[in-house]
Chains A and B, each alone.
Chain A
């Protein structure tokens, strides 16, 4: 219980490096954590440093115990739990700080380093970029150096001595890491309750649409998914990436329908299929994105009656799948009359002016098609503005938008159009997804960002089935033809990566995105599914074979590494002069003149020269140089060695 003076534990510069690197590990977490944890950690680090420098005593165990309980309860108060990722990181950081005040034995420093490794792991759960990878490697290097230093017995070793060794360990560990990464059996997660990602709210489509909801998404240049096309990339205006379908309307918000039947509607293909591979970023929604209309896909999905691709669990890891779509299609030509009601439903008191207008048009129109185009023309004829920053709609969103404000983003146009169609008796529903994308010349693939999120409308037309109509294309055709940036007024703010100007920073950014795409595709997306596919490709489909391959390749790798490690530096480097001299002696011995053990170089050379007068000059030359290099004060003046080696190389007895 008595406090200890701790000046003797570690040399002060080792302690300083330990404190510094553990702080560096905790630092990326601090913005996410309550302020008191950051402050507390800082206090602990400074206290421990001064305790080492000035020989202060560390706080008694009882006080530390009290601080631990206080920290745990504060975390509980902040998060309502001690488990889960966020609260876990908070607890871990607090414990690390307190552990620093408990560094009394070498053992404690090892425990602190292990806690540090764990904090690195939690950082990787928040960020998976290549920068994070290099951060991870650097931190692991420094912490391995420290681990070697603090566990080396005896008085104060310096971390500087062991940096190289730690780097060697790290490099030699890389092959094993790769083997384990590829071959170690992956279990589909999660194992216990799903991790909540409140702080890492992934941007992506939401499952409803109200005015302004997609506009927000346009501010994000985050990658939604990347697509590699097998053949040619289809035209931009055909790139409608179907996400989810919103048939239910309450006067303001479009929502998903609760009572879906799971019968897949009939789909007729009218054109050539397009084959492509999608690498989807995690978005915690259970929808799989595909080009309209998907005909096949090789990840398990359920195609429901709205032709949404539904997964049994959210896309929490990177998902990579191959799919085939037909850009020209006919969806569900026949539909039972009673099930159309939900696509015609409008709340009684909503949008009176819009409904009146639509019904007037319907009466004037010759047929359904005439009515639809009358409405679409309206968007073109009237001064509608396509903008990311429309004024806020307060009362009746559709009436205000159509008659007063006339400024909006795709969800305004899609929502208003769908309402008009319903008022005119045409079944309609809103589709959320992405439109377009950007070709990355550096990687030959299409990047689709969150800013490409889009909403359009599907109408049911007698005899033709559900067809896509995009009112945005009538207001701002550039949006569909060339992307978002071209369609917006310059005053609208867009993230740099979503703009399309050709600057060198941008081309650099695209190259960097290509590197990231490979990283995502082959490393981050490597999960149970991809592993299974790879193993089947390698003929290691059954798990017994896979484990066998893992064991065999690990044994092989360890054998090679051991051989390499044990072989390196086995013998001290030999003096090249001696090597040359021995070569010389061996050659003479083969010619029958063996050096006797007692003979020094000059005696031996003299005897050999007598025996072989023809070689006397060379023999004396070699001996003279050898003696100069080995025994003279200035080692033969630097010229001796090369002269010796030349003479020996040319010597044949």
Chain B
């Protein structure tokens, strides 16, 4: 498509939009969504048939005509079979687990069909990746992971990609454009190499943050909040019939750290995000509670996978242009 001049390309895209409809969570391959054209192998096959026909005419051989026409028939029929290999498939993509920018987001792709035909050699061709090849036997659902490059932080939509099939015989390529609106979060890429440690406890800004949800020494109980680790649930009080409570620990000697956007004025915004990401990961690695301050947002100090996801998601979704 990209070889076309821009207006034609736009026209083609509009036509495709009308035909394929809006992106959704799942796609049913109705016959209108399937396109089919001879492949390179098919064109070579056609050239061979033409040569066979010329030979049959020249050598006046009915048998040669029979063979030529039989192969032509196989070509015609294989077109229908190529089409059949795709028609009636239902495809669904689930959100991928978050990944760091520069990695591969892996979207669970579910392919199901009502019919009990086997479908062979389905190629999911995501741009700039090796095709994902799937065989589906009979009715039911088959699932595989679709790897999608995640070059930038933020939300990653799967967008549009091609499902292709050259089965059987490779004479025709049948394809459809799949459009999913499934979204996944891509965390910012953490800064690599050695980074200066986060500034800790200078000034009074951080003075009060001595008590936080650490995990060193028991400090008290508080009401359970969604996201609290199950290991810290006070099961004993629950057994006594009280409400669900979370044990709180204080990390004495280690102050909960605020990772602050404004503490890095010398860096560009993306570099700050990258540095903050690295800090979050470093704090997690050492099981130290931390809070995150971003422009217009503050995440109170905590530690654990939920805290990490909350912080990294916040960083991932930072608007790209801001000082």
Contact = CB atoms under 8 A, between A and B. Distances in A.
Given A118-B51, A152-B167, A566-B80, A174 B70 contact: yes
Nearest to B51: A118
A124 B58 contact: no
A523 B69 contact: no
B142 to A, nearest CB: 13
A118 B114 CA distance: 40
Given A125-B61, A195-B59, A569-B115, A147 B77 contact: no
A153 B133 contact: yes
Contacts of B73: 172-177, 180
A192 interface: yes
Contacts, number: 178
Contacts of A173: 70-74, 76-77
Interface string B40-54: 010011001001101
B139 A572 contact: yes
Interface residues of A, number: 64
A106 B95 CA distance: 35
Interface string B124-152: 00000001010100110000000000000
B67 interface: yes
B144 to A, nearest CB: 12
Contacts of B170: 110, 147, 151
A513 B247 CA distance: 99
Contacts of A180: 69, 72-73
Given A162-B168, A169-B78, A569-B115, A176 B69 contact: yes
A190 B169 contact: no
B107 to A, nearest CB: 20
Nearest to A572: B116
A316 B77 CA distance: 33
Contacts of B135: 154
A177 B59 CA distance: 19
A405 interface: no
Given A177-B72, A180-B69, A571-B115, A151 B48 contact: no
Q: Which of B65, B66, B139 is packed against the most chain A CB atoms within 10 Å?
A: B66
B121 interface: yes
Given A147-B169, A181-B66, A152 B120 contact: yes
A487 interface: no
A647 interface: no
A121 B55 contact: yes
Contacts of A118: 48, 51-52
Interface stretch (A128-136, A346-354, A415-423, A626-634): A128-136
B169 A144 contact: yes
Given A121-B68, A177-B69, A190-B59, A152 B121 contact: yes
Contacts of B63: 124-125, 128, 132-133, 136, 524
Q: Which of B45, B57, B116, B131 is packed against the most chain A CB atoms within 10 Å?
A: B57
Given A121-B52, A151-B169, A317 B60 contact: yes
Contacts of A363: none
Nearest to B164: A153
A110 B61 CA distance: 26
B99 interface: no
Contacts of A181: 62, 65-66, 69
B57 A189 contact: yes
B166 interface: yes
B67 A120 contact: yes
Contacts of B139: 572
B81 interface: yes
B58 A195 contact: yes
B58 A191 contact: yes
B77 A124 contact: no
B67 A136 contact: yes
A318 B63 CA distance: 12
Interface string A584-607: 000000000000000000000000
Contact of B58 (A117, A154, A192, A558): A192
Contact of B41 (A110, A128, A154, A317): A110
Given A110-B41, A180-B73, A190 B168 contact: no
Interface in A167-225: 169-170, 172-177, 180-181, 184, 186-187, 189-192, 195
B276 interface: no
Nearest to A558: B76
Contacts of A316: 60
Given A121-B67, A140-B71, A572-B115, A148 B62 contact: no
B133 A154 contact: yes
A85 B55 CA distance: 10
B84 interface: yes
Contacts of B87: 566
Given A124-B64, A153-B123, A165-B168, A85 B80 contact: no
A141 B56 CA distance: 21
B117 interface: yes
B88 interface: yes
A113 to B, nearest CB: 10
Q: Which of A85, A154, A174 is packed against the most chain B CB atoms within 10 Å?
A: A154
Interface of A: 85, 107, 110-111, 114, 117-118, 120-122, 124-125, 128, 132-133, 136, 140, 144, 147-148, 151-154, 157, 162, 165-166, 169-170, 172-177, 180-181, 184, 186-187, 189-192, 195, 316-318, 523-527, 558, 561-562, 565-566, 569-573
14 contacts: A110-B41, A114-B45, A122-B55, A125-B55, A154-B121, A177-B66, A180-B72, A190-B58, A523-B62, A565-B84, A566-B80, A570-B114, A571-B115, A573-B116
Given A148-B169, A191-B58, 17 more contacts: A110-B41, A110-B44, A144-B74, A151-B41, A151-B167, A162-B168, A169-B81, A181-B65, A189-B59, A317-B60, A317-B61, A317-B62, A561-B80, A570-B88, A571-B116, A572-B115, A573-B116
The 7 lowest CB-CB distance pairs between A and B, nearest first, are A173-B73, A151-B170, A176-B73, A124-B63, A180-B69, A572-B116, A154-B133
